């Protein structure tokens, strides 16, 4: 095979460009690649998504497929093969297991020299289909990236992936988005909150893994103890009707605000007094990093990559999932300790700046690309 020349076309393949942590990471990563060495391209298996226009505005080519019509749609593979050949793609970088199967198979058929796969979440051993698909993904890729050490451990222990093949690159965020935001009082007034109300914020999809059941059960207990406490839920999803119904059932309409999908999350973070993330599963949560970058103390569960982000007792409080009483107690403890919240928030901002910046993440991915190209062709 003839050695390619820089800039090397790199196509990122993912399911969609809906608003979410995985999608945010991909958009930020391709936007940060060194164009002297890498030419970014993006392909999605389904059309649309709120982040698609952002890519177009940045001049990054985007191919949106019409979706898969079967369990494994061969027409998608054929389309991808043509696309990879036409663009002389050097690296295919897939995100999560569905896109990996299509992307890696098409890459091998199109003789693309390098395939990288990133696992953004965690599938536990009882999910046999996920274990099998992740195992296949590991076999097809030249290198697998886990976004947390916990995800790497699961891949090795339960999916029997070669430890030499899987590395960890933590997600990173654009720190500058959380500097010099709109004044706190202005945002709170816009949202309809007064200066003496204590705002507990949560940002995430209205989906089972985010465990809004536990959030609302816990906040029922919080509201009984702290009359000035308010809960702000940011995000949308398939469980919106369920969440709204539970708010009514628990009589929380006056203390819980369901904002829906928002594009001003950095501004909203300035209005919060505390951030909570009591998920049942996580990779490296983008919203958790954003909250810490905004200087917020956090309460999170000890699942997935959360303990790699939050230093328990220093940048926030960690505890068990699906435990409303524990979550309520942690929230009340920090709401009643403003000095501790401030110290944790400052420590969290420093930690994210040092370990979870977009710059660091992009550098590590580009270092990986160069290592793999050097191994294949002796080029960098």
The secondary structure of the chain in percent helix, strand, coil, rounded to multiples of 5, reads: 45, 20, 35
Cis peptide before 219 (omega within 30 of 0): no
Provide the pLDDT for residue 122: 60
Provide the pLDDT for residue 201: 98
Distance CA 204, CA 202 (A): 7
Distance CA 199, CA 181 (A): 17
Q: Of 129, 75, 63, 89, whose CA–CA distance to 9 is shortest?
A: 89
Domains and CATH numbers, the chain: 8-172+357-377 (3.40.50.2000), 175-354 (3.40.50.2000)
Provide the pLDDT for residue 68: 77
Are 314 and 332 contacting, i.e. CB atoms less than 8 angstroms apart? no
How far, in Å, are 216, 274, 297, 330 from residue 338 at the CA level?
Answer: 23, 10, 10, 13
> Which residues in the chain land under pLDDT 50?
none
Dump pLDDT digits (tens) for 184-241.
999 999 999 999 999 999 999 999 999 999 999 999 999 999 999 999 999 999 999 9
* Placement of tokens 């909150």 in the chain: 193
Q: Is 317 helix (H, G, I), strand (E, B) or coil?
A: strand
Dump pLDDT digits (tens) for 112-158.
999 999 988 765 556 777 777 777 777 889 999 999 999 999 889 88
């Amino acid at each position: 095979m003839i050695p390619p020349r820089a800039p090397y076309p790199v196509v990122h393949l993912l399911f969609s460009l809906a608003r979410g942590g995985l999608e945010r990471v991909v958009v930020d990563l391709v936007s940060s690649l060194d164009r002297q060495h890498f030419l970014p391209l993006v392909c999605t298996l389904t059309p649309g998504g709120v982040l698609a226009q952002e890519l177009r505005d940045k001049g990054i080519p985007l191919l949106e497929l019409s979706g898969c019509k079967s369990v494994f749609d061969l027409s998608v593979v054929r389309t991808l093969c043509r696309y990879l050949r036409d663009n002389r793609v050097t690296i295919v970088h897939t995100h999560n297991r569905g896109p990996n199967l299509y992307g890696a198979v098409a890459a091998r058929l199109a003789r693309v020299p390098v395939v990288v796969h990133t696992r953004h979440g965690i599938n536990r051993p009882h999910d046999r289909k996920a274990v099998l698909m992740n195992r296949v993904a590991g076999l097809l890729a030249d290198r697998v990236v886990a976004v947390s050490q916990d995800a790497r451990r699961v891949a090795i222990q339960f999916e029997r992936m070669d430890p030499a093949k899987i590395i960890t690159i933590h997600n990173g965020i654009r720190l500058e988005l959380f500097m010099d935001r709109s004044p706190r009082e202005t945002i709170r007034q816009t949202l309809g909150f007064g200066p003496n109300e204590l705002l507990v914020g949560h940002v995430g999809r209205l989906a089972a893994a985010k465990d809004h059941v536990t959030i609302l059960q816990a906040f029922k207990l919080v509201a009984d103890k702290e009359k000035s406490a308010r809960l702000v839920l940011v995000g949308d999803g398939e469980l919106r009707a369920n969440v709204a119904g539970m708010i009514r059932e628990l009589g929380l309409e006056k203390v819980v605000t369901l904002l829906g999908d928002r594009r001003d999350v950095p501004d909203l973070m300035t209005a919060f007094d505390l951030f909570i993330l009591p998920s049942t599963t996580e990779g490296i949560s983008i919203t958790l990093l954003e909250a810490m970058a905004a200087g917020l103390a956090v309460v999170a569960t000890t699942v997935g990559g959360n303990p790699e982000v939050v230093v328990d007792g220093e940048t926030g409080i960690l505890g068990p999932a699906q435990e409303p009483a524990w979550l309520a107690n942690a929230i009340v403890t920090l709401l009643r300790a403003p000095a501790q919240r401030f110290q944790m928030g400052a420590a969290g901002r420093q930690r994210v700046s040092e370990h979870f910046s977009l710059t660091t993440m992009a550098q590590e991915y580009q270092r990986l690309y160069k290592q793999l190209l050097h191994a294949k062709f002796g080029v960098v």
